[in-house]
Structure formats: structure tokens, C-alpha cells
């Protein structure tokens, strides 16, 4: 991903500068570069970099002149407790009321000293609103002096537009006008060390895009061993530094983490799977309800059949029906109900000529009574003869003409 750094400058600066790092060969970056001919843009035209910021990690660098910087000696407490206590620890050293400031803290103290940055809350919110309006997502809001590497000894000083950014070997960071540096540094040194303890010359690294001869002549004689470094691009030099930066977007201003494409796809798949599972459970629940209702209806039908089979019993059971049916098939040897019914039904080979109307069984006499209708008397006699050939005794009642056929009752025994 590209890294787009915006140097916002001070509150009153009408313009800001931008630098694009890392993957500058991507197609999106090349289009944006062709559209922006200058690296300096009016703040009112912030939205013109929106295309460049789409596929970039955007860092906003504010001027140290708008920030209160401090390194505080703090106890080993949780950050939530420190966030409440630090405003009151700095209250006496800040002209602005602490309730108007937002305090950003480093993740953890270094040598029992915690890095703290404070910014006017209204100013920070106005900047964030500008970027929200321009539809540009900020990943970090930094301070320009925090980008500078901490020197091992003495001081490192960056000069730009007559302003100085100063960092010393104890990681104290401050700013001033170029013309005020000389007396401010003398005052600071006099408060720290006496003349006898002061070394002959303190290392002082002066970095600027322009010659610094005039500035160096204003320095106290013999106090500093000056090393002057001239750079081609002030902002590019800041980007090349590896200072420990502190992101001001903390607490309520911390940007929300966006889900990756893979995570978003997985979320969609999980949601779809949950919907399918829910539909399946609803379907299964419906089926269970239907089956339960069907089972209840079958039980009612079974009770009705049992009552019909055992009209004299108050509480007929399925077991009683099974015993009764078994007794019907086993009684009287080979002449039981089932045996007689099977033999009689096998002899009904053509139901268009003869068919049964009613069947009853007398268990005491072991008689099967069948009311039949035959197409003519010959067919009726043939059926009776067939049963007799199978070894049954057949008594036939008188025939009664019914339409074009004849009805009769056959009593079949073994």
C-alpha cells in the first residue's frame, strides 16, 4: 500500500504539502500524480487528493507550534488512570485550560518518563471534519518534531521557513523562531548546568535547505560544536528519519479498523450459512409439527377401529386386537377365519361375473358367510362347486334376482 504523508503546517498556513512513498508505480498513484502538478496545495482544495488517498495509508503531520509536548515522570499505572491524571499534572505549565485540550499518550513509559502530546480539541476536530468531508480516511495524525531522530549527544536542529525544530539527547522536543534560538538555548543551559560543569562545546547538528552561516554567527561563542547539513528537500528529509512517533488519534478519535476483503467474504459466507441453517431448522420444525399432527390423527383412527372391533369393551387396546386376530387364524385347525377367507377369495377369479357384497364370520360355529352377486345362476353354482372341490361345505340360500344378476348368501365351513 502507498504511504501518503501530508505536512499540514501551522493553523494559519493556507497550504499544505504532500509526499507519496513506497509503491509509486501503481496505476492509481500515477493517475493522481498526473492530476497534481504541485506538491503544495491549498487546504481549501483538500478534496483534490481524494483519488490519491483511496489506496494509500494517509498520515497527517501537524506543526509542533500547535502542540504541547512533554515527557513526564509518571508512576507505573494503567493508561486509563494516567489519561485522567496527566491533565492535572500539566495544568500549571499550560496557559490553555486543560479541559479544552486532548491528551495523547505513548504506549508505555521509557525510563519512567511518559511521552505526552496535547492539542486543542476544537482544532483537532475541525481538521478531522475537513478530511471526513473530503472522504479521506486518516490512519495517523503525527507531530513534525516527533519524526526527527534523537541525537546521541547535544542537539539536532531543523530550520524551515525561519522556524526551528529542536531535539536534544534526552528526547526533549520543542520549537521556536530562528532568531529566538540563541537566547532560549542559553537560558535553558544556564538552568541545567553551571558554567564550571558545562563542556567546552556541545554537539549541535543544524539541518536546513538553505545556508545557515548567518544563523551560526548568532550562536554563543564557544558553546557549540556546529555541524551544518544542507538537504535538497526538507519534507523528504523528515520522511527519511526514524523517530519514535506518537499517533494523536487515540481514545474517542481512534479510527475504526476496517475488515479485510477475506474477512468480509468470510462474514458473508457465514451469514449465508446461518440463513440456510435457519431455513432448514424452520423446515424441519414444520415437518415435525405435521408428523406429530398426523400421528395424533392416526391414534384417533386406531381408537375408533378398536372400539368397532370390541364394542363391548370400555377400553379396547391394540394388544387385545392382536390376540383376537391371532386366535381367529389359529382356531379350528385349518378351518379358521383366515383360512376360510383365503380359500373363498382365491376362488373369486372374475369379479365381473361374481363379487362379494358382505362378509361375516361366526366364531362359535366356525362359519364364513358371504353375500355375493352373480351374473347368472350358472356362475353362482360354479363358484359353490369350486369351494366344495377344495373340501369346504357350502350351503346356499335361495337366489334373489337383482337387476340382471342374482344375489345369494353362501355359508362356508370346513
> What CATH number is attached to the domain comprising 376?
3.30.1360.100
Flag whether pLDDT at 53 surpasses 50: yes
Number of folded domains that form the chain: 3
Same domain, 45 and 96: yes
Same domain, 213 and 339: no
Q: What is the CATH number of the domain that holds 27?
A: 3.30.420.380
* Concatenated DSSP letters of 284-330: HHHHHHHHHHHHHHHHHHHHHHHHHH-TT-SS--HHHHHHHHHHHHH
Write down which residue in 201, 228, 253 finishes a domain.
Answer: 253
| Structural domain span for residue 327 | 321-413
Same domain, 287 and 240: no
Phi-psi group of 282: left, alpha or beta (phi > 0 → left; psi -120 to 50 → alpha; rest → beta): alpha
pLDDT in tens, 321-333: 677 666 655 554 4
Same domain, 210 and 271: no
Same domain, 244 and 272: no
Same domain, 191 and 119: yes
Q: What is the pLDDT at residue 311?
A: 74
The partner residues of 371 in beta bridges, in order of sequence, read 358, 409
Same domain, 309 and 338: no
* Concatenated DSSP letters of 266-283: HHHHHHHHHHHHHHHHHH
Same domain, 54 and 171: yes
The partner residues of 173 in beta bridges, in order of sequence, read 167
Same domain, 385 and 338: yes
Same domain, 221 and 300: no
Kindly give, in sequence order, each residue whose CB lies less than 8 Å from that of residue 31, ignoring residues fewer than 6 positions away. Answer: 51
Reported confidence tier of residue 68, pLDDT bands at 50, 70, 90: very high
pLDDT in tens, 196-227: 555 578 899 999 999 999 999 988 888 899 99
Same domain, 282 and 330: no
Q: Identify which of 78-82, 149-153, 348-352 has the greatest average pLDDT.
A: 149-153
Q: Indicate the pTM of the whole model.
A: 0.60
359-387: average pLDDT: 87
Rounded CA-CA distance 229/225 in Å is 13
Amino acid at each position: 500500500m502507498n504511504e501518503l504523508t501530508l505536512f499540514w503546517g501551522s493553523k494559519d498556513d493556507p497550504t499544505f504539502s504532500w509526499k507519496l512513498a513506497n509503491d509509486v508505480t501503481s496505476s492509481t498513484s500515477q493517475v493522481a500524480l498526473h492530476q497534481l502538478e504541485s506538491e503544495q496545495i491549498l487546504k481549501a482544495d483538500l478534496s483534490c487528493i481524494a483519488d490519491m488517498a483511496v489506496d494509500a495509508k494517509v498520515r497527517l503531520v501537524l506543526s509542533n507550534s500547535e502542540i504541547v509536548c512533554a515527557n513526564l515522570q509518571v508512576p507505573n499505572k494503567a493508561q486509563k488512570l494516567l489519561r485522567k491524571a496527566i491533565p492535572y499534572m500539566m495544568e500549571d505549565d499550560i496557559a490553555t485550560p486543560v479541559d479544552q485540550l486532548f491528551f495523547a499518550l505513548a504506549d508505555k513509559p521509557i525510563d519512567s518518563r511518559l511521552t505526552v502530546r496535547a492539542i486543542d480539541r476544537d482544532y483537532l476536530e475541525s481538521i478531522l471534519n475537513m478530511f471526513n468531508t473530503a472522504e479521506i480516511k486518516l490512519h495517523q495524525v503525527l507531530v513534525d518534531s516527533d519524526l526527527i531522530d534523537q541525537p546521541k549527544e547535544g542537539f539536532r536542529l531543523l530550520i524551515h521557513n525561519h522556524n526551528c525544530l529542536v531535539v536534544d539527547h534526552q528526547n526533549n522536543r520543542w520549537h521556536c523562531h530562528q532568531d529566538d534560538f540563541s537566547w532560549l538555548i542559553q537560558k535553558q543551559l544556564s538552568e541545567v548546568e553551571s558554567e564550571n560543569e558545562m563542556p567546552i562545546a556541545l554537539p549541535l547538528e543544524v539541518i536546513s535547505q538553505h545556508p545557515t552561516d548567518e544563523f551560526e554567527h548568532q550562536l554563543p561563542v564557544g558553546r557549540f560544536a556546529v555541524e551544518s547539513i544542507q538537504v535538497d528537500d526538507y519534507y523528504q528529509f523528515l520522511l527519511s528519519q526514524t523517530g519514535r512517533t506518537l499517533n494523536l488519534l487515540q481514545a474517542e478519535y481512534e479510527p475504526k479498523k476496517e475488515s479485510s476483503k477475506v474477512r468480509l467474504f468470510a462474514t458473508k459466507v457465514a451469514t449465508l450459512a446461518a440463513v440456510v441453517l435457519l431455513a432448514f431448522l424452520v423446515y424441519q420444525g414444520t415437518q415435525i409439527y405435521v408428523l406429530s399432527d398426523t400421528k395424533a390423527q392416526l391414534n384417533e383412527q386406531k381408537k375408533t377401529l378398536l372400539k368397532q372391533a370390541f364394542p363391548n369393551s370400555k377400553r379396547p387396546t391394540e394388544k387385545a386386537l392382536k390376540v383376537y386376530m391371532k386366535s381367529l387364524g389359529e382356531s379350528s385347525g385349518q378351518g379358521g377365519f383366515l383360512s376360510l377367507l383365503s380359500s373363498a377369495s382365491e376362488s373369486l377369479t372374475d369379479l365381473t361375473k361374481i363379487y362379494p357384497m358382505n362378509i361375516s364370520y361366526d366364531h362359535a360355529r366356525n362359519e364364513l358367510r358371504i353375500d355375493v352377486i352373480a351374473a347368472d345362476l350358472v356362475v353362482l353354482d360354479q363358484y359353490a362347486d369350486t369351494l366344495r372341490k377344495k373340501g369346504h361345505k357350502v350351503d346356499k340360500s335361495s337366489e334373489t334376482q337383482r337387476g340382471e344378476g342374482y344375489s345369494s348368501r353362501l355359508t362356508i365351513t370346513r
